[in-house]
C-alpha cells in the first residue's frame, strides 16, 4: 500500500470492515495527502469518501492543492453522469458539506484568484466575501471552515511564554513596527512555522520572515491573511503561519523571526523564557538588537515555534 493506490484499497477495507487495514489507509492519507489526492484513483471514489477526506482535521497538503483535487473529482463525476462540468453542476454534485469544509481562508490571495475563481464553484457573493477577507475589510463571518488543519508528522512545539494576556492598547498590530525575536538551537532542526497571537474574531494581514542575523539574509518569507481562533489547550486566541518549505536551522547559529502584522490589537505573552527545552532540543531566546523591533525575550508575540528533527 502506498499513496498512489491507497484510494483503491480503502473502499475495500471499509466494505469488508477490516478496521486495521482501514486505519493503515488513513495513516497513509494523512501523512502523504497531496500524493494521495492527486492520484488517478482519487477521482474514482464515491462522493461520501471525498467528503470524509475534506472534513478530516489531519491532512498534510496545502489547501489549494486539496481544492484542485476536489474540483478534478467533480469534473470527472460530471462527465460520468453525462453533465457539462460547469461551476453550477460541479457544486451540485459536490454538495454544500464538501464546499464549506474547504479551508479557503488558508489559501493565499494569489492561489484563490488564480485557481478557485476560475473553477466557478463559488458564488459571486462568496468570492466577494473572500476578497474582503484578504483586504481586511470583512464585516461578517465567512461561510467556510477557518480552523487550520494539523499534520500527522513528528512536528513539535516550543512554547515560549508562561502567561497570556488579552488584547489592550499595549499590543497594537499597526504594520509599522515589526515583532521580532532572536534565538538559536543546540541541535540542527527544521523550523516549520510560527504561531502568532490574535484576537477573538480577528483577521490579520501578516508577513513573517526568518533571517540569518550574521549576514541579514532572508531564509524564508511567508505572507498572507489569517483568521484568529482560540487555542485548543490554552485560553488565548491566535493563528499559525506555516512556511511553504521548512527552514533548516544549524546548531548554535543565531536567527531572527520578524513579523509585520495588520489587524486588531492582539493577545500577547509575558514571562517569556530565555531557555526552553522542547523534546531534548534547547531553544535559547534573546531580545533583537534591532531597536525598531517590537517585543523582547520576556514579552511579545510568537507563543509557539513549530519544529521537527533534521533527517
C-alpha dihedral (35, 87, 131, 306), degrees to nearest 10: -20
Looking only at Cα atoms, what is the longest distance across the chain?
65
- In this structure, are residues 129 and 225 in contact, taking their beta carbons and an 8 Å threshold? no
The beta strands (E) that lie in the chain are given as 156-159, 161-165, 173-174, 179-185, 189-197, 203-212, 218-227, 229-230, 237-249, 255-263, 268-272, 275-278, 281-286, 304-309
Q: What is the pLDDT of residue 155?
A: 81
Q: What is the pLDDT of residue 233?
A: 75
Q: What is the pLDDT of residue 91?
A: 97
CA distance 141 to 155: 31
Report, in angstroms and rounded to the nearest whole number, the Rg of the chain calculated over CA atoms: 21
Q: What is the pLDDT of residue 154?
A: 72
CATH fold, domain 6-134, is 1.25.40
Are domains 6-134 and 156-309 of this chain identical in fold?
A: no
- Looking up cell 522542547 gives 278
Q: Structural domain boundaries of the chain? A: 6-134, 156-309
Show pLDDT as tens, one digit a residue, over the chain (311 residues).
Answer: 889 999 999 999 999 999 999 999 998 899 889 999 999 999 999 999 999 999 998 898 999 999 999 999 999 999 999 999 999 999 999 999 999 999 999 999 999 999 999 999 999 999 999 999 999 898 888 889 887 787 765 788 999 999 999 987 678 898 899 999 999 999 999 999 999 999 999 999 999 999 999 999 999 999 999 999 988 777 899 999 998 888 999 999 999 999 999 999 999 999 999 999 998 999 999 999 887 888 999 999 999 999 988 75
Q: What is the pLDDT of residue 31?
A: 83
Q: Which CATH architecture has domain 156-309?
A: Sandwich (2.60)
Amino acid at each position: 500500500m502506498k499513496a498512489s493506490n491507497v484510494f483503491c484499497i480503502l473502499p475495500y477495507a471499509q466494505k469488508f470492515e477490516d478496521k486495521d487495514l482501514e486505519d493503515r489507509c488513513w495513516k497513509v492519507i494523512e501523512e502523504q495527502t497531496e500524493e494521495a489526492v492527486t492520484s488517478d484513483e482519487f477521482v474514482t471514489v464515491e462522493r461520501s469518501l471525498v467528503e470524509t477526506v475534506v472534513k478530516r482535521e489531519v491532512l498534510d497538503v496545502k489547501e489549494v492543492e486539496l481544492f484542485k483535487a476536489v474540483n478534478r473529482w467533480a469534473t470527472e463525476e460530471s462527465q460520468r453522469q453525462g453533465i457539462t462540468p460547469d461551476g453550477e453542476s460541479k457544486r451540485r454534485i459536490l454538495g454544500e458539506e464538501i464546499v464549506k469544509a474547504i479551508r479557503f481562508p488558508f489559501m493565499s490571495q494569489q492561489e484563490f484568484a488564480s485557481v478557485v475563481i476560475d473553477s466557478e464553484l463559488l458564488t459571486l457573493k462568496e468570492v466577494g466575501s473572500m476578497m474582503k477577507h484578504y483586504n481586511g475589510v470583512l464585516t461578517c463571518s465567512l461561510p467556510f471552515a477557518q480552523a487550520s488543519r494539523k499534520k500527522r508528522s513528528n512536528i513539535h512545539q516550543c512554547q515560549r511564554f508562561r502567561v497570556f494576556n488579552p488584547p489592550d492598547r499595549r499590543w497594537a498590530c499597526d504594520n509599522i513596527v515589526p515583532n521580532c525575536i532572536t534565538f538559536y538551537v543546540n541541535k540542527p532542526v527544521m523550523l516549520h512555522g510560527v504561531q502568532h497571537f490574535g484576537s477573538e474574531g480577528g483577521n490579520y494581514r501578516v508577513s513573517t520572515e526568518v533571517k540569518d542575523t550574521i549576514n541579514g539574509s532572508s531564509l524564508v518569507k511567508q505572507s498572507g491573511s489569517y483568521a484568529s481562533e482560540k487555542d485548543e489547550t490554552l485560553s488565548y486566541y491566535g493563528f499559525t503561519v506555516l512556511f511553504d518549505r521548512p527552514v533548516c536551522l544549524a546548531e548554535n547559529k543565531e536567527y531572527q523571526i520578524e513579523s509585520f502584522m495588520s489587524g486588531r490589537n492582539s493577545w500577547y505573552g509575558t514571562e517569556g523564557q530565555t531557555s526552553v527545552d522542547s523534546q531534548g532540543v534547547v531553544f535559547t531566546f534573546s531580545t533583537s538588537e534591532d531597536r525598531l523591533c517590537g517585543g523582547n525575550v520576556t514579552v511579545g508575540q510568537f507563543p509557539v515555534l513549530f519544529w521537527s528533527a533534521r533527517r
